[in-house]
Structure 1
Amino acid sequence: MLTIGSQIHHRYEHYELKTYAKLFGCDGCKMKGFGERYVCNLCGHELHKECRHPTSEISHENFGGSIFTFLDKPFTRLGKKNRREFSKCCDACGKDICGFNYHCEEDNLDLHPCCRKLEKKLVIDGTIFDLETKVSSKCGKCGKKKISRDEKNVLGWSYVSQCRKYHFHVSCIAEMVHEAYMKHGDMALENMDLRELVRYNRNRGGGNTFLTMIKSFIKILLSALLGDPTMLISNFAVELLSRGIQQ
């Protein structure tokens, strides 16, 4: 494992910050991105802003005194038929660590670079959501309280409204994007399956207020997960989501 140093910085000298209104695969963390990204003028590789400017050591208030070190390679192991596979997953979203990451050796914790930047609090259409590591309610999409991942019991982070009516795993919102991307080959937000979310809320008597709130919620969370703090996923995405909900 290599930690960040002068050798890594030297590789980045040809990267330039650019903006395109399309999805991209980050060559650092291997996660999806949108909008602003650093592009190498020599090879065309693209990086999230967080992956272009990593920090050698970080801490996170969700993990107390744990100290995370930046690594530019993922952990792997030999799996079935001696095939090499990824052996760590992000303790925030539950997805595999496939590239750049922050790792705490002492407490066996791992974070994607973009996940560690998720906001602790979101205010959406007057509803306050807190980022929580432990929850008592079930996620509005998957219907579960936690994410189980092989031998590592991953709780996963969730955004929970202070009124306690709404609870969504960060990973479940990310999965909605992934499913749409794999099916349609592009952002395809209008094809995201929001029916489960609508059914969940109708059972709780939420009405049209929920439909307005969830569009804004997904827009803001996607912006964070895809590394686009400038909110390039804006009115266009809201319109597409509105069509998806009404189908």
Structure 2
Amino acid sequence: MSIIKRTHHNCDEHYELTSIQKLFTCYGCKMKGFGQRYQCKFCGQNLHSECRFPKNIISHEFFGGSIFTFRDEPFTRRDRNNRKEYSKCCDACGKDVCGFSYHCETDNLDLHPCCRNLDRKLLIDDTVFDLRPKVSSRCKSCKRRKISDGDRDVPGWAYVSTCDKYNFHVFCMLEMVHEAWMKNGEMGLEKVELRQLVKFSGNKGSGRGAVFETMKSVLKIILAALLGDPTALISSAFVELVSRSLG
């Protein structure tokens, strides 16, 4: 679990909609974003659109009958050293809830605002990818069906192709973004090698090149969807470097 470090600035009246082709951390939900965001013109803090204008009450089709209310503070508990830590994880992606969220008290469910807003379908190279709350196949990245870090076991939403050949946990994609950010800074995605993300097996010979080309398109669009980049501009340098990493 992450240890909490929070500050507060009264910027509500000074946010302006802008678009910068760089990664950012949302001040509201603490998740990553790319491109379009609301930015404070004085202190530079950034917010996802969903975090700038949250709804008081929501529902979600994956949790029929559950009613979620907006929270601007995360749930916390004390660790063994009596320090505060986050005590909830998102039931969509499996990552800690560190800021803004939607919580269902009755069913003990939690959603990041950006996860709640994920596209249900993506069209990639004439193949439809469905966002699914449960999957039967293994994720192409972690090679598992569920997400587990030792403390919890979350089914984990995933984007799955209609042919069932390609399956990516939302969690695994976000982990790739986070690791690249921590190691390489704002343009970290440009330095990510595809082989570090996807564990291929049995793809050898002439057919492997075609698989990699398909995978590049898949990753490009899913990353763009997760980071809120509708134009997919985040993919240009990333895809080029992926190509070189596969040489």
TM above 0.5, one fold? yes
1: CA distance, partners of 2:145 / 2:71: 30
User: Is the contact between residue 90 and residue 111 of structure 1 (CA under 8 Å) also seen in structure 2?
Assistant: yes
Q: Is the 8 A contact 2:147 2:154 kept in 1?
A: yes
Shift of 1:27: 0.6
Structure 1 position 157 matched with structure 2 position 167: no
Could you say which residue in structure 2 is the equivalent of 1:7?
none
The residue number in structure 1 matching 2:83 is 83
Q: TM-score, normalised by structure 2?
A: 0.88
Could you tell me which residue of structure 1 aligns to residue 236 of structure 2?
235
Partner residue of 1:4?
A: none
In the aligned structure 1, how far is the partner of 2:65 from the partner of 2:185? Answer: 41
Cα offset, 1:242, TM superposition: 2.3
Q: Taking structure 1 as reference, are residues 32 and 207 closer, same or farther at Cα in structure 2, changes over 3 Å only?
A: same
Q: How does 1:141-220 map to 2 (within 5 A)?
A: 141-195=141-195, 197=198, 199-200=200-201, 202=203, 207-220=208-221
Question: Contact 2:190–2:237 at 8 Å: present in 1 too?
Answer: no
> Compared with structure 1, are the counterparts of its residues 46 and 201 closer, same or farther at alpha carbon in structure 2 (3 Å cutoff)?
farther
Q: Which residue of the partner structure matches residue 222 of structure 2?
A: 221
Summarize the Cα distance change of 1:167–1:133 in structure 2 as closer, same or farther, 3 Å threshold: same
Change (3 A) 1:85 1:206: farther
Partners of 2:201 and 2:96 in 1: CA distance? 28
- Please give the alpha-carbon distance, in whole angstroms, between the structure 2 residues aligned to 1:89 and 1:230: 29
Question: Which whole-Å CA distance do the structure 2 matches of 1:226 and 1:147 have between them?
Answer: 20
Report the equivalent of 2:112.
112
Question: What percentage of residue pairs aligned between the two structures are identical?
Answer: 60
SS in 1 for 2:217: helix
Quote the offset at 1:68 in angstroms. Answer: 1.0
CA distance in 2, matches of 1:106, 1:149: 25
Where do 5+ consecutive residues of structure 2 fail to align? 1-9
Any stretches of 5+ residues in structure 1 without a counterpart?
1-9
Change (3 A) 1:233 1:190: closer
Counterpart position of 1:5: none
Shift of residue 218, structure 1, vs aligned partner: 1.6
Measure the CA separation in 1 of the matches of 2:67 and 2:207: 41
For the 8 Å contact 1:190–1:243, the answer to whether it is kept is no
Please give the per-residue CA displacement for 1:121-164, whole angstroms capped at 9, x wherever unaligned.
Answer: 11211222111111111111111110125554311001111111
What root-mean-square deviation, in Å, do the aligned CA atoms of Structure 1 and Structure 2 show? 2.0
* Paired residues for 1:23-62 under 5 Å: 23-62=23-62
